[in-house]
Chains A and B, each alone.
Chain A
């Protein structure tokens, strides 16, 4: 199978702090990783596409200075939520792309900003 891990699974932080979420493909190389945000009872909202060794491509309306994405290797991408505010509280999910179109998702990270 194709396994993607995320860390941490849950994080609670104070308003104004930064939070880093890691996404790792454990048994395959992912040249492309995707970051999603999901609100309760809603579908996945694509935030950005991350390619190894290059700058991420952000979807319209997503602030690239607030959501910093780094894809340092073929198995690791990180999302840093900078100066987090309560409205950033959400469920963040990453996926790794195997080949040119297969997506495998991580278990998600629940972010709560107080």
Chain B
């Protein structure tokens, strides 16, 4: 089985722009979670989608949004980028609701100038 894939792997944007990141989960996995990783804050949970519905949401401003499609692929969007949004964005998938282990993609590294 192919692993979790994320595109693009690297991205450079300027302040005020918006960005869309994509995540394709492992085949058969219906839950996708997104995390922001920065050196100072560690992994911060953004949101989780299951069967196209947002189930959980972390403490991030409304500039961060996401969605999930019927094929379980997920996108996250950040609008009006700020310098502090520079981070590694990781997505993780799980097979079914309440499966205990998450499988992570390689991440998208976003640099905001």
A and B together in one complex: no
